[in-house]
Amino acid sequence: MLATSLAGDYPLLNLFWTIAEIFLWVLWIFLLVRVLDDVFRDDSLGGGAKAAWAIGVVLIPFLGVLIYLIARGKGMGERSLKAAQQREQDFQEYVRDAAGSGSGDQGGHADQLAKLAELRRNGDISEEEYQRAKAKVLA
């Protein structure tokens, strides 16, 4: 019966390199998914260009991804930022619509208070007028 342990057969440096290789593979998979995500979400690319990039990235992954990053890498960040801003704007519109469509008069009150706050912020009404109008809305 062999009584050696696995830890004795696998030196610390080999363990370090194994962890580094696993980390690099996970990083590579993340980068590959990110590139494919960018290819399919880009509205400026036509169907043929998307298919060509996808085939290139899948068939020759290392070279395909590097070429994609060189050719279209700057645009990846810009498209990602634009998509995030669009999602934020859509969310804000949803919140405004949801707040304005409450049950009963709550939606109307919220709209009126928002309009009053806007008038006060623009200097169209004074603080005193704002407080009086706010009291009327809430009464």
Radius of gyration (C-alpha) of the chain in whole angstroms: 29
Is residue 116 situated within a structural domain? no
Q: For 20-58, how does the pLDDT look when each residue is reduced to its tens digit (9 = 90+)?
A: 999 999 999 999 999 999 999 988 889 999 999 999 999
Is residue 44 situated within a structural domain? yes
Print the domain residue range for 55: 1-74
Largest CA distance in the chain: 93
Q: 35-40: which pairs have CB atoms within 8 A and are 24 or more residues apart?
A: 35/65, 35/68, 35/69, 35/76, 38/72, 38/76, 38/79, 38/80, 39/68
In the predicted model, is pLDDT for residue 4 greater than 90?
A: no
- How far, in whole angstroms, is CA 9 from its chain's centroid? 45
CA–CA dist 92, 113 (Å, integer): 18
Q: For 53-108, how does the pLDDT look when each residue is reduced to its tens digit (9 = 90+)?
A: 999 999 998 899 999 999 998 899 899 999 999 999 999 988 888 776 554 445 57
Report the domain count for the chain.
1
CA–CA dist 67, 54 (Å, integer): 12
Q: What pLDDT, on a 0 to 100 scale, did the predictor assign at position 101? A: 55
Task: Report yes or no: 79 and 42 within 8 Å, Cβ to Cβ.
Answer: yes
Q: What pLDDT, on a 0 to 100 scale, did the predictor assign at position 51? A: 94
Is residue 126 situated within a structural domain? no
Is residue 79 situated within a structural domain? no
| pTM metric for this prediction | 0.56
Is residue 39 situated within a structural domain? yes
Q: What pLDDT, on a 0 to 100 scale, did the predictor assign at position 7? A: 57
Is residue 30 situated within a structural domain? yes
Q: What pLDDT, on a 0 to 100 scale, did the predictor assign at position 99? A: 73
Is residue 10 situated within a structural domain? yes
CA–CA dist 6, 68 (Å, integer): 42
Q: Which residue has the tokens 């990083």?
A: 27
Q: What pLDDT, on a 0 to 100 scale, did the predictor assign at position 67? A: 93
